[in-house]
Structure 1
Amino acid sequence: MKNAPNDTAGNKNARPASLTMLRWLLVVAWVPALFFLAPNLSVPAPIVSVVGFAGLSFILVNALWQHMPLKSSCITAAVLAGIIGVPWEAVVFIVTGQEAEVSLWLTNAIGAIVGAVVAYPVMQKIDALTRKVLR
């Protein structure tokens, strides 16, 4: 199996390509799951946006990290999740009739940044643990 790169020690990642594919499937599954679950939660919309987009950014870091250095993955994930927030608000408006406002997109962008910031140390710890296990 082909292994994905990792930047921690400049070595090849010991994870198989199938695991990388599963990480991308998680990203693809997150967006529709959030779209269908969010309206049914009894939580204020801004909180759902921050938490939902933080989760999206976090799993994007997890998937992107298999293809680029961790710092680049965090920045790219935050930017991508923030950009995804724009059409997200448009779709929410079209489907639910909820007004699309800049403040709603800002909550998405804040969540995207939070997810990337949290992902950086967490991914480092996960990588350190998996390297110990794989030795």
Structure 2
Amino acid sequence: MKNRTLKTRFTSQKVILESEVEDFTSFFTAEELHGKIRRSFPKIGIATIYRYLKSAVERGEVHSFQCERRAIYSTNSKNHCHFYCEVCGEKKHITLQNIGALQKGIRGKMCHFQIDVVGICEECLRK
């Protein structure tokens, strides 16, 4: 992780956590990170994971979003979008590249966003 301007203790657990977080290519939960780390370090507790993620969010190294009333995390983006199928319940994370129209509708500076789109997925439309 790049930004170490805030005072933090440098421990071997943090080094391992940082490495594992950087390996995620998409969104992840604290529980997924915990499961991944426990393969190598079975004694690490979920509370340690939550403390690390809270600190990483405060430092700006990880971004936190709400997804179905629980926190998910990402190192890639401050923007978060979902598509929910109202027929089968499928949920997909989507990436919006062109946010110009969204920005035009807002007076002021947009810092980040979270959008939920509800519709019918391709597979359900074929049925």
Q: Mark yes or no: TM-score above 0.5.
A: no
TM interval, short-chain normalised: under 0.3
Q: Which has the higher helix share?
A: 1
Taking structure 1 as the reference length, the TM-score comes to: 0.26
Q: Which has the higher strand share?
A: 2
- Using CA pairs below 8 Å that are at least 6 residues apart, which structure has the higher relative contact order? 1
